[in-house]
Amino acid sequence: MDFMQSFTTVSLKGLTSEHWNRTRFLPCRGSRAFFIYSRENAGSACRIEKFYDIMGLIAEKSTDGRLSSDNGPLSVGKEENSQMKATIGCPMKQLQCGGCPLLDVPYPEQLRRKQKTIESLFGRFCHPEPIIGMETPFHYRNKAIATFSSARGKLACGIYAAHTHHVVPVKDCLLQDSRINEIIGAALFSAAKCHLPAYDEDRGTGFLRHMVVRRGTSTGEISVTVVTPSEYFPASRNFVRSLLEKCPDVTTVVQNINPCHTSAVLGTEEKILFGSGFIRDRLCGNTFCISPRAFYQVNPSQTERLYQTALEFSGLTGKEQVIDAYCGIGTISLAAAKYAGDVLGMEINGDAVRDACWNARLNGCENVDFIRGDAGKLMTEMAKEGGKADLVFLDPPREGASRQFLVSLLRLAPSRIVYISCEPSTLARDSALLIKGGYEIRRVRPVDMFPHTQHIETVCLLVRCRKRQDGKL
């Protein structure tokens, strides 16, 4: 299959909103290019629809057009495996578990590869700073999602094998908190004891879909969320009683109802079966209440380093008007509030806004406000009304910021932008539009939030250096 169909130099004006959210960057022989992709079917490679160079250069055709179809960094050419030796053995790998594809690569080499990826994307604009790795890159995840299945008539739970919907039973994961592994085993035992059947997504029968376990690293508090297709929960009291007998440190048990046939794990409706319905944890000196559907970083020790980097890049002096877009439950907002004049968090998820307001009161932060709504629309209205911001933090999902949001950000025109990204390719894509709008990249620092995977967290500082020459992008 010929993936590279055409190489055309175009302006960023040619990108529609639909194209923008399907755009990925591809480091290609020193060029900073991007492509618009599509997926032919689940588990297949990507087909390139269009291929552009953002700086007006003609992109070079790769000798190997194969691109990885997962959500990690896309690569061109063959892997440099000649000097790689397996250092960690994991029985799950034989079962095609796709949770940690780099486990066989020595950790220093993982960091080297990730640093190289960042340098290939951003080396043209600045000298990326060294990646921040972990001293002990195992058992760092404070959250686990397990899927229920039926194996030879017996209840099982685990994770999907790579590029399939086949569930691989996982008894001990090298990435998850060890206590979480034990909680999953206990919950599975309790569910089997209560004769609760696994949900069959093809037939639409059964009951147990997923289980989400979270543990507050600093507090030890544990939440167990059981996802079901309907509200009816047979033997719910017996299940909770059995789980608490084996695991008395479980803080709360919640039933989440998700009747939809989608890839989303959690639904919108919840019932508290035991406890308060949330757990607490401490991060950057603040205490946070975390509900089942709230976004909270899964690697707490690296999250501290990530947010410290963001605050360092921000250069706050205590006087600035700050916006935290995609603020979630307010983790970055509350961390920045200690060093800023006022902070305004924007979040489209109403549950997250509720949690953020509660967290602000819990930590006594009086210079922070939160508002529910689309950050792009809210900032557009602010700009029309003459509102200003000295600094904007943004930490969007893996697909990056929408083009509409970035245009609204340029209209608001803060003097500094601190962009926190979990996908370097979309960070590079979004930065290209901001550079065209009058910003320049001053600092880039990667943080290894997810050892043994291809994912890279990156903090980027953009500073406004000139006004836009035209009114459009």
Residue 440's domain comprises 112-136+299-464
Q: Which residue has the tokens 């899964």?
A: 298
Q: Of 41-55, 146-160, 278-292, which range is least confident?
A: 41-55
Q: Average pLDDT of the chain?
A: 82
Residue 146 pLDDT greater than 50, yes or no: yes
pLDDT tens readout for residues 287-311: 999 999 998 999 999 999 999 999 9
pLDDT at res. 157: 85
**Cα–Cα distances in Å, from 436 out to 219, 259, 391, 407?**
45, 44, 19, 11
| Band (20; pLDDT cuts 50, 70, 90) | low
The pTM (predicted TM-score) of the whole model is 0.80
| Band (68; pLDDT cuts 50, 70, 90) | very low
Say if residue 460 is exposed, middle or buried (CB neighbours under 10 Å; 0-12, 13-18, 19+).
Answer: buried
Q: Cα 290 to the chain's mean position, in Å? A: 16
Of 257, 283, 309, which one is at a domain's C-terminal end?
Answer: 283
4 or 130: which leads in pLDDT: 130
pLDDT at res. 24: 53
Say if residue 101 is exposed, middle or buried (CB neighbours under 10 Å; 0-12, 13-18, 19+).
Answer: middle
Of 256, 283, 310, which one is at a domain's C-terminal end?
Answer: 283
CATH number at residue 278: 2.40.50.1070
Residues 236 and 325 in one domain: no
pLDDT at res. 61: 30
Question: Would 411 be classed as within a structural domain?
Answer: yes
pLDDT at res. 46: 43
Question: Would 89 be classed as within a structural domain?
Answer: no
Residue 159 pLDDT greater than 90, yes or no: no
Residues 131 and 153 in one domain: no
From the candidates 289, 422, 460, 465, give the one annotated as an active-site residue. Answer: 422
pLDDT at res. 195: 94
Residue 439 pLDDT greater than 60, yes or no: yes
Residues 316 and 277 in one domain: no
Q: Of 35-49, 374-388, 448-462, which range is least confident?
A: 35-49
Residue 1 pLDDT greater than 90, yes or no: no
Residues 335 and 278 in one domain: no
Residues 251 and 173 in one domain: yes
pLDDT at res. 64: 34
Q: Which amino acid is at 173?
A: C
- State mean pLDDT over 270-274: 96
pLDDT at res. 72: 35
Residue 253 pLDDT greater than 90, yes or no: yes
pLDDT at res. 104: 86
Question: Would 101 be classed as within a structural domain?
Answer: no
Residues 438 and 307 in one domain: yes
List the one residue out of 335, 327, 216 whose CA is nearest residue 282: 216
Question: Would 424 be classed as within a structural domain?
Answer: yes
422 flagged as catalytic: yes
Residue 256 pLDDT greater than 90, yes or no: yes
Q: Are 276 and 254 in contact (CB under 8 A)?
A: no
Question: Would 95 be classed as within a structural domain?
Answer: no
| Band (93; pLDDT cuts 50, 70, 90) | low
Question: Would 4 be classed as within a structural domain?
Answer: no
Of 283, 312, 339, which one is at a domain's C-terminal end?
Answer: 283
Residues 452 and 376 in one domain: yes
- Percent of the chain's residues with pLDDT above 90: 63
Residue 455 pLDDT greater than 90, yes or no: yes
- State mean pLDDT over 105-131: 96
Question: Would 164 be classed as within a structural domain?
Answer: yes
Residues 17 and 60 in one domain: yes
Residues 186 and 331 in one domain: no
SS (H, E, C) 124-151: CCCCCCCCECCCCCCCCECEEEEEEEEE
Residues 304 and 422 in one domain: yes
| Band (162; pLDDT cuts 50, 70, 90) | low
pLDDT at res. 315: 96
CATH number at residue 129: 3.40.50.150
Question: Would 99 be classed as within a structural domain?
Answer: no
Residue 97 pLDDT greater than 60, yes or no: yes
18 or 9: which leads in pLDDT: 18
| Total count of domains within the chain | 3
Which alpha helices (H) appear in 363-423, and where do they start and end? 375-384, 403-412
214 or 35: which leads in pLDDT: 214
- State mean pLDDT over 170-188: 90
- Percent of the chain's residues with pLDDT above 70: 76
Q: Of 25-29, 154-158, 219-223, which range is least confident?
A: 25-29
Residue 263 CB coordination number (10 Å): 6
Residues 317 and 432 in one domain: yes
pLDDT tens readout for residues 406-427: 999 999 999 999 999 999 999 9
Q: Using CA atoms in the order 361, 365, 371, 375, what is the torsion angle rounded to 10 degrees?
A: -140
Burial 64-80 (b: 16+ CB within 10 A, else e): ebebebeebbbbbeeee
Residue 229 pLDDT greater than 90, yes or no: yes
| Band (443; pLDDT cuts 50, 70, 90) | very high
- What is the token pair recorded at 355? 């949690």
Residues 318 and 437 in one domain: yes
